[in-house]
Amino acid sequence: MGTLVSALNIANEALAADQSALNITANNVANQNTPGYTREVPNFTTQDTYLISGYEQANGVSAGTPTSVRDRVLEQRLQQQTQTASASSTLETALNDVQSIFGLTASSTSTSVTQLGTSVNDFFSSLTALANDPSEAATRQQVLSSASSLATTLNSASSQLNQITSSLNNEAVSIVGQVNQLLGTIASLNGRIATQNPEQDAGVLEDQRQQAIAQLSQYIGLDQITTSQNGIELTTSNAGLLVTANLSYPLTASIVNGVVQITAGPNNVNVTSGTAGALTGGTLGGTLEALDTSIPPIKANLDTLAYSIATAVNTQNEAGVDAYGNPGAALFTIGTSSTGAAGTIAVAVTDPNLVAAAGVGEGSSGNTNATALAALGTANIAGGDTATGYLATSLAAIGSATANATNDSTLQSATLTQLTSQVNALSGVSLDEEASNLTEYQRSYEAASQLFSIIDTLFASALNFGVVTSVT
Partner 1 sequence: MGEKVKLSEALEQTASALAMFDSDALEELTVRLNAAADGLVEVEREPIEAIKARQRILAEVLIATEQSINILRGLRERKARNEWAL
Coil, helix or strand at residue 341: helix
305-344 binders of partner 1 (CB under 8 A): none
Residue type, 44: F
**Binding string, 20-59, against partner 1, x = CB under 8 A?**
-xx--xx--xxxxxx---------x-------------x-
Contact 398, 319 (CB under 8 A): no
Residue 430 binds partner 1, judged by CB under 8 A: no
- Among residues 196, 351, 417, 443, the one that binds partner 1 under rule CB under 8 A: 443
Q: Does 7 bind partner 1 (CB under 8 A)?
A: yes
Which of residues 60 and 281 has its CB atom nearest to partner 1 in the complex?
A: 60
CB of 156 to partner 1, least distance (A): 50
Stretch that binds partner 1, among 144-152, 225-233, 281-289, 452-460 (CB under 8 A): 452-460
Query: In the complex with partner 1, which residue's Cβ is closer, 73 or 448?
Result: 448
Min separation Cβ 26 and partner 1, Å = 5
Tell which one of 19, 163, 195, 417 touches partner 1 (CB under 8 A): 19
Choice between 45 and 407, CB closer to partner 1: 45
Return d(Cα 367, Cα 370) in angstroms, integer. Answer: 5
Nearer to partner 1, 204 or 330 (CB): 204
Cβ atoms < 10 Å from Cβ of 414: 11
Number of C-alpha atoms within 13 angstroms, CB side, residue 343? Answer: 11
On whether the CB atoms of residues 263 and 270 are closer than 8 A, the answer is yes
Taking the complex as a whole, the smallest distance from the CB of residue 203 to partner 1 amounts, in Å, to 17
- For the bound state, the minimum distance from the C-beta of residue 464 to partner 1, rounded and expressed in Å, comes to 4
**Other beta carbons less than 10 A from residue 416's beta carbon:** 20
> Under the criterion CB under 8 A, does residue 267 sit at the interface with partner 1?
no
Q: Does 444 bind partner 1 (CB under 8 A)?
A: yes
Contact 185, 233 (CB under 8 A): no
User: What is the closest distance, in whole angstroms, from the C-beta atom of residue 55 to partner 1 in the complex?
Assistant: 11
Which residues, 6+ apart, have CB-to-CB distance to 168 below 8 Å?
Answer: 94, 260, 287, 290, 291, 295
Q: Specify burial of residue 385 (Cβ count, 10 A radius: 0-12, 13-18, 19+).
A: middle
Task: Give the other-Cβ count within 10 Å of 377's Cβ.
Answer: 18
Q: What is the Cα–Cα distance from 414 to 428, expressed in whole angstroms?
A: 19
Window of 217-225, 323-331, 357-365, 436-444 that interacts with partner 1 by CB under 8 A: 436-444
CA dist 337 and 298 (Å) reads 17
Q: How far is the CB of 207 from partner 1 (least distance, A)?
A: 15
Which region among 7-15, 135-143, 155-163, 302-310 touches partner 1 (by CB under 8 A)?
A: 7-15
CA 397, 400, 401 angle in degrees (round to 5)? 85
Q: Give the number of residues in contact with partner 1, rule: CB under 8 A.
A: 57
**From the CB of 166, what's the least distance to partner 1, in Å?**
41
Contact, 179 vs 272, CB < 8 A? no
Among 11, 41, 239, 411, binds partner 1 (CB under 8 A): 11
**Shortest spacing between CB 442 and partner 1, in angstroms:** 6
Minimum CB separation of residue 407 from partner 1 in Å reads: 39
Residue range at the interface with partner 1 (CB under 8 A); choices 92-100, 133-141, 322-330, 442-450:
442-450
Of 138 and 451, which CB lies nearer to partner 1 in the complex structure?
A: 451
How deeply is 346 buried, as exposed, middle or buried, from its count of CB atoms within 10 A (0-12, 13-18, 19+)? Answer: middle
* Least Cβ distance, residue 425 to partner 1 (angstroms): 20
> Are the CB atoms for 65 and 196 separated by under 8 Å?
no
Burial of residue 94 (number of CB atoms within 10 Å: 0-12, 13-18, 19+): buried
Residues 53-112 that bind partner 1 (CB under 8 A): 58, 60-61
CB 234 within 8 A of CB 224: yes
Q: What are phi and psi of 216, to 5 degrees?
A: -60, -35
| Interaction between residue 457 and partner 1 (CB under 8 A) | yes
Summarize as ranges the residues that interact with partner 1 (CB under 8 A).
3-4, 7-8, 10-11, 13-15, 17-19, 21-22, 25-26, 29-34, 44, 58, 60-61, 431, 434-435, 438, 440-445, 447-452, 454-459, 461-464, 467, 469-472
